[in-house]
Chains A and B, each alone.
Chain A
Amino acid sequence: MALGLHRRSGHQPRLTTRQEHERQQRRRSSFIAAASTFVVLVAVAVFIPRMPRWDRVKKSFFDVNQMRDSFPRLIDAFWLDVKIFVWTTPAIFIAALLIALARNSRSPALFPVRMLAAAYTDVMRGVPVILWIYLVGFGVPGLGLERPFNSPLLWGSVALGMTYSGYVAEVFRAGIDSVHESQRAAARSLGLSSAQTMRHVVLPQAIRRVVPPLLNDMVSLQKDVALVSLIGPIEILRQAGIDKAKFANFTPFVVAALIFLSVTIPLTRLTDYLWHRERRRTSGTRVAA
């Protein structure tokens, strides 16, 4: 006891009673968190193998040899998902920005444009993505278009782009609305036109604020790309289905899930980090308790 007291006063700045109390609280919290995590993990490790059919599930979902065999094919197929993602994303952002600007126009002459833009976002967001993919992906090539314009891959991507631009447009619109009117007043009072004000003053601030929700939508898009497989293209989900049928084993689906996670988790973490930073920047000092 005496020794402890001596050491504390000798090597560290002396803590006040409150700081000492808070340090103990912190230690207590981390101990409880560690203990409860340990209990849960042990329970999972002990009880799941004791389920009556665990052997079968293990064999049909977590077959290591099957994993090794399927992995290269699935990675190859995943490349198509990446490509669809890469070419739809810029198209979505451009279309969404134009729609958001149309909805934010103020001139009375542009009323029809505002109405169309509002209708577009309503219709695109009001129907499940998968239905748009079926309708556009089968419907448009059904018009009898020539190659390459009859490709389900093309029209599936278009359907994805259409729906997502509806969602992303709403994100941009919220960002534009969040910029205070006094910023517009300042810009207009300097003689900038309404378009110049939007371009140089409103949009740069709006876009900065909506980066986290935009990334959120990109994470969703990254997964929904797999829906295009339902109208034909052999991407990762489709390839996993083929492997599953061929080997009568569900392991390829688990591998596909892991491949998706390897992309979506970093993206999600980044989004969270940016949210957090934006919150800290804009929401003031945190209350104590």
Chain B
Amino acid sequence: MTTLAASRATGAPKVSLRSVTKSFGTNTVLRDLSLDVATGEVVSLIGASGSGKTTLLRCVNLLEQIDDGVVLLDGDEISAIGLDPNPVRRRVGIVFQSFNLFPHMSVARNITLALTKVLGLENDAATQRATELLTRFGLADKAGAFPDQLSGGQQQRVAIIRALAMQPEVLLLDEITSALDPELVGEVLDVVRELKGSGITLLIATHEMAFAREISDRVCFLHAGSVAEIGSPSQVFGAPRDERTQQFLRRVRSN
């Protein structure tokens, strides 16, 4: 909560969506959606499949272009037409549900590719940064392995490291445990727990309700492309005000 207060004092939110609308053909996925995320804040997005969680994240690092509204990063509009997305993407990392590691490259190369090609680091410096991160997250012995030699949990940890190595200000996590066997979920969530409080802003789309409750500063319930309810984890999970949130949580808990 201290980070939250501090960032509010400095003014502009880290990430801000204002009246964002996004459609795929006739299917409107985000509907007049507004959301502010402060620097260093951890916000979880929960909601049914199709409620717009993934699309929201992809709009923040410009993998999707919005139809209407604005997306701001540190108060600067990043959704402007014709804006070069690459500088934004350097500051906003994303981890995907299906890992998306590059299968033809070793773990180390997966991590160093963008360090050398985008940030212009020397090979040695890039390798050193990769090794430090791999060591920190218990994967030092996997540097030379290829993605298909790793378990799903290990692959997803590498994917997180690959995004972290770019030292982004914001990290988007898109249902990063949904493709994992239940016993592998813990090791991936541990990595995220370690990131909290490091100053990085986390925006997490997730189906892991217990995890969302534990790690979030705020929880945001999306319904049909809009924010139906947003508040502290204890409020949203403990005393949801919106009827749709109540229904959703009942359905999730009955499983």
Contact = CB atoms under 8 A, between A and B. Distances in A.
Given A190-B114, A196-B117, A205-B104, A185 B162 contact: no
A201 B93 CA distance: 18
B118 A192 contact: yes
A190 B89 contact: yes
Interface of A: 182-183, 185-193, 196, 200-201, 204-205, 208
Majority DSSP secondary structure for residues of A touching B = helix
Nearest to B162: A190
List 6 tightest A-B contacts by C-beta distance, closest first: A190-B114, A186-B100, A191-B118, A191-B90, A191-B89, A189-B94
Given A182-B96, A188-B89, A191-B89, 5 more contacts: A186-B96, A189-B89, A190-B118, A191-B114, A204-B104
B194 to A, nearest CB: 21
B163 interface: yes
Count chain B CB atoms within 10 A of each CB in A185, A186, A201 and give the residue with the most.
Answer: A186
B100 A191 contact: no
Contacts, number: 55
A193 B63 contact: no
Nearest to B113: A200
A182 B86 contact: no
A233 B114 CA distance: 51
**Residue with the greatest number of chain A CB neighbours at <10 A, chosen from B87, B94, B102:** B102
Contacts of A189: 61, 63, 89, 93-94, 163
Given A188-B63, A190-B89, A193-B86, A183 B114 contact: no
A97 B118 CA distance: 25
Interface string B79-118: 0000001110110011010101111100000000110011
29 contacts: A182-B98, A182-B100, A183-B102, A185-B96, A185-B100, A186-B96, A186-B101, A186-B102, A187-B102, A187-B114, A188-B89, A189-B61, A189-B63, A189-B94, A190-B93, A190-B113, A190-B114, A191-B86, A191-B90, A191-B114, A191-B118, A192-B86, A192-B113, A192-B118, A193-B86, A196-B118, A200-B113, A200-B117, A205-B104
A200 B118 CA distance: 12
A192 B100 contact: no
A188, A190, A196: residue with the most chain B Cβ atoms closer than 10 Å: A190
Nearest to A197: B117
